[in-house]
Amino acid sequence: MVQSQTSTRKYTIEPLTRVEGHGKVTIHMNDRHEVEQARLHIVEFRGFERFILGRPYWEVPVIVQRLCGICPVSHHLAAAKAMDRIVGGERLTPTAEKVRRLMHYGQMFQSHALHFFHLSSPDLLFGTDGTASGGFSAPVELRHVLAVAAKYPELATQAVLMRRFGQEVIRATAGKKIHGTGAVPGGVNKPLATADRDALLAQVDQMLAWSRGALAIARDFTTEHLVELIPFGSFDSNHLSIVREDDGALDFYDGVLRAVDKDGTRVVDGVDCQRYLEVVNEEVRAWSYMKFPFIKHLGPEHGWYRVGPLARLNTCSVIPTPEAEAARREFLALTQGRPNNITMCYHWARMIELLHAIEVIRDLLHDSDLQGDDLLTSGPRREETVGVLEAPRGTLFHHYRVGSDDAVTMCNLIVSTTNNNEPMNRAVTKVARDHFTGRSDITEGLLNHIEVAIRAYDPCLSCATHALGQMSLVVEVHDAGGGLIDRRVRGGP
Amino acid sequence: MSAKPRIATVSLAGCFGCHMAILDIDERILRLADLVEFDRSPINDYKTFTGRCAVGLVEGGCCNEENVHVLEDFRRHCDVLISLGDCAINGGVPAMRNHVPLRECLEEAYLKSPGVYNPGGVIPNDPEIPLLLHRVYPCHEVVKIDYYIPGCPPPADAIWSAIVALLEGRPVELAYAGLKYD
Amino acid sequence: MQFVLDGKTITATPGQTILKAAEAAGVYIPRLCAYKDLIPHGSCRVCSVRVNGRIQAACVQTVSSGAIVEHDTEELREFRRDVIDLLFVEGNHYCMFCEKSGLCELQALAYRFGITAPKYPLLNPKRDIDMSHPDVYLDHNRCILCGRCVRVSQDLDHKNVFQFVNRGLEKRLQVNGEALAATDLRVTDEVVASCPVGALMKKRVGYAVPVGDRPFDAQPIGADIESGKGGVA
């Protein structure tokens, strides 16, 4: 509770909707209509890091993916990569490495499609007054994917079929669309069946065409509303991701740690993921179950950073597929080649990655290594291990220790969205200050502005604290002592 | 208010996988849009119920006080309440904390994990974050549940056939291929 | 000799159990603790039938000439469903990540009976996992006390690795030593493959069988007996 000398008005946005997971926002305003404090709270806790202890290590990739039903493959593979090292099998066979890569890029494809179309497009498509914020303030009955379907039936059909394609790639490699078992320590449990390959190949050109279209929508939306979008929830920050070891290329599955500051100076580069603790620490704050990571040598004050599509485009040197690389160059031209710190550019960056993912999937489907039968490898045992990859929402760290009896003795997870905790809080604060200051009446549409800023990050709050849910939006006005003097509920009785 | 039956969905202590399984009905989601109106759900911005709902789909069990309130609210507003997926039905993976004292789970995450910067030894406790229950409860131990669709997550076809059955006034029955616990 | 099973006359050999006689006639009576040709145990009660009006375990009850046996009735189906349900709520069965999913007889029975949720409150007991042995692990969370391992270790492996201790709700499987590593259990022993659930498992096998290829993914347990191809367990 904020104590101030004047009466404070508190706005609560709860539950956050059209994000993957469960959080709430509180905004405290004083009687001069100034924002005193704005916070994104993560309100659920599960305790994975404790109850995984004692379990056999080969169960871990299958258990931990239950952190998240949206990007389960990320957790499945990060844990599998960690367990590869436990069994001394980190140099996978070509078949295993490529089957996993296909699984991961399939996941990237479905998750980015889901986020753009199912969750964010209502904010981007309903700006009927020619402004971007017109869409942010669209009537609540329009702000969901089925309303998009009613107005843009072709787009909705594409969205559904694109997500289905990504999910089919996952099913063909993991055995199930959600929470499969395909990646096992030291490899995979099956190759890609030719029947599955052929079914996917038959659709891949259509997916490429639709991905180009999705990219064009995101790019045009951004460039047409630049004046509005440049300041919206934006701020300078560091950016972190893994990049391919030899050339710094964008790579979702494997690489070394790189971070750049707001000007593009590399503050971390070429760091082996096994040494992630030398780069990243996490701060605990009493008002959120989600921790606050920062780059260790820069400290909690200045070391916080962003991850995800925007960060990856700012850190990588090149995208190793031609169409996405051309799109990256166009994207960077907007900021004269320097890092892009515009929060709303996350959407554009995400669609460049969508195009990259389908280019990679296409190439993999043509690779006969995926039908190989050499699936597993192993070597000398290790006790401690780190598995890192780029999940749809950013860098994902899995760190384990496993005893000689095969039981897990330590588990530390830094999930993608946790990395974006501080940036999301800053985005919330900035939008609140820019749009609420001086106003006595905060409308439902204005409150959605806050969520638009959070949605740009595509936060998987489910992962971050294993949390989901729904509550009403409540506006409470408190007096100086914190007593409630007025209360209004959004969304009817 | 349209005359179409209304459906509400919620995710309590789940991972959103069951909601993704709902979306895995693929093209049928567009058919569903013709058959029903979505009320309160994470896929739209209705944060509270707008009216009486024919069907409520609940993902996840109850791990905090607020899950319980939301679940009770769903029971009040929905004619038929369905526990969707293993977490709602038996607590699922989050219920693994039921075998461990809650304090140990919190200490592992906020005090003991490597790389944690916590000079004050803080465990999150702000009034803005809801109180955790001492254990995770399945939904039917909190309110009456009418139907169960198990699975982690349930097969999309099972979800679709259940919704269609209810809309046509038939009881929910799962085929062998639609009944899975994993 | 002949007896009547659900109104049908069945021919059996003297000394044959009702379970085996039904099986020979292509009728599957659900069972959990019965295993291969071990001396039947009658502990799980999943194979309960009515013989001349009295409830008996079909795995231990031998056929008597002219007996009237009821097997597939609503009452018995419900009785068995309850037994299966209790086995679930008394342990900690996390099917969603158990490597035995799709190969597990308890789970397959629940599928066959169409069980969608526990009828009784979950006990969430505190159970241990014994990882001490280099090649085999024992997860007590999943143990249903069927006694297969006790009998296989004694009768087929001619060792005595497992035994029950305590009674009632406190009943536990105990190993003959401080922990599994202290016993003379070897990974090659018959007992390692005998567990119907995921309690006694060979280590580092994990999820070798892909989802979709597992025995109970496509067809219910007992389907082989009903199609006349003979039983597995």
Mean pLDDT of B60-83: 95
Are the C-beta atoms of residues C136 and C201 closer than 8 Å to each other?
Answer: yes
Taking all residues of chain B, what is their mean pLDDT, rounded to a whole number?
91
pLDDT of the residue at C230? 52
Mean pLDDT of A254-262: 98
pLDDT of the residue at A469? 24
Q: What is the pTM of this model?
A: 0.93
Cα of B10 to nearest chain A Cα, Å: 6
Give residue-wise pLDDT tens across range A400-455: 999 999 999 999 999 888 899 899 999 989 998 999 888 877 788 888 888 888 88
Q: Which residues of A touch C138 (CB under 8 A)?
A: none
Q: In which band, very low, low, confident or very high, does the pLDDT at A468 lie, cut at 50, 70 and 90? A: very low
Q: Tell me which chain A residue has its CA closest to the CA of residue C135.
A: A405
Residue A182 has pLDDT above 50, yes or no: yes
Contact status of B129 with chain A (Cβ, < 8 Å): yes
Q: Average the pLDDT over each of A153-167, A335-349, A448-462 and give the range with the smallest value.
A: A448-462
Q: In which band, very low, low, confident or very high, does the pLDDT at A44 lie, cut at 50, 70 and 90? A: low
pLDDT of the residue at A492? 25
Amino acid residing at A203 = Q
Cα of A272 to nearest chain B Cα, Å: 16
CA-CA-CA-CA torsion sign (C18, C19, C21, C22) = positive
pLDDT of the residue at A1? 35
Contact status of C7 with chain A (Cβ, < 8 Å): no
Give residue-wise pLDDT tens across range A47-75: 788 889 999 999 999 999 998 888 899 99
C36 or A103: which carries more pLDDT confidence? A103
pLDDT of the residue at A470? 26
Residues 6-65 of B with CB under 8 A from A: 10-21, 23-24, 26-27, 29-30, 33, 38, 40-50, 59-60, 63-64
Q: Tell me which chain C residue has its CA closest to the CA of residue B175.
A: C114
Q: Average the pLDDT over each of A192-196, B97-101, C26-30 and give the range with the smallest value.
A: B97-101
Q: Average the pLDDT over each of A23-37, A284-298, A349-363 and give the range with the smallest value.
A: A23-37
Residues in chain A whose beta carbon is closer than 8 A to a beta carbon of chain C? 54-56, 58-59, 62-63, 66, 87, 174-176, 179-182, 184-185, 189-190, 403, 405-407
Residue A259 has pLDDT above 50, yes or no: yes
Query: Six-digit token pair at C39?
Result: 């001396």
pLDDT of the residue at C36? 86
Q: In which band, very low, low, confident or very high, does the pLDDT at B81 lie, cut at 50, 70 and 90? A: very high
Taking all residues of chain A, what is their mean pLDDT, rounded to a whole number?
88
Give residue-wise pLDDT tens across range A349-384: 999 999 999 999 999 999 999 999 999 999 999 999
Mutate to test the interface with A, among C204, C205, C214, C217 (most CBs of A within 10 A): C204
Cα of C205 to nearest chain A Cα, Å: 8
A5 or C108: which carries more pLDDT confidence? C108
Residue A480 has pLDDT above 50, yes or no: no
pLDDT of the residue at A22? 67
Residue A485 has pLDDT above 80, yes or no: no
Residue B102 has pLDDT above 90, yes or no: no
Q: In which band, very low, low, confident or very high, does the pLDDT at A471 lie, cut at 50, 70 and 90? A: very low
Residue A27 has pLDDT above 90, yes or no: no
Give residue-wise pLDDT tens across range A304-327: 999 999 999 999 999 999 999 999
Q: What number of other Cβ atoms are within 10 A of residue A237's Cβ?
A: 22
pLDDT of the residue at A344? 94
Parallel, antiparallel or unpaired: strands A23-30 and A8-13? antiparallel
DSSP code string of A373-437: S--B---S--SEEEEEEEETTEEEEEEEEE-TTSBEEEEEEE-HHHHTHHHHHHHHHHHHHHHHT
Are the C-beta atoms of residues B88 and B14 closer than 8 Å to each other?
Answer: yes
pLDDT of the residue at A452? 86
Mean pLDDT of A80-102: 98
Of all residues in chain A, the percent with pLDDT exceeding 70 is 90
Mutual angle of helices A72-86 and A153-174, in 10-degree steps: 20
Cα of C201 to nearest chain B Cα, Å: 18
CA separation (Å) from A197 to A160, A365, A367, A487? 20, 6, 10, 57
Parallel, antiparallel or unpaired: strands A408-414 and A473-478? unpaired
Of all residues in chain B, the percent with pLDDT exceeding 90 is 64
Mean pLDDT of A464-468: 31
Average pLDDT, consecutive stretches of 10 residues, N- to C-terminus, chain C (233 residues): 96 96 96 92 95 97 97 97 97 97 98 96 94 98 97 97 94 96 98 98 97 96 85 42
Are the C-beta atoms of residues B25 and B156 closer than 8 Å to each other?
Answer: yes
Q: In which band, very low, low, confident or very high, does the pLDDT at A128 lie, cut at 50, 70 and 90? A: low
Give residue-wise pLDDT tens across range A163-177: 999 999 999 999 999
* Secondary structure letter of residue C212 according to DSSP: T
Query: Six-digit token pair at A17?
Result: 């909707």
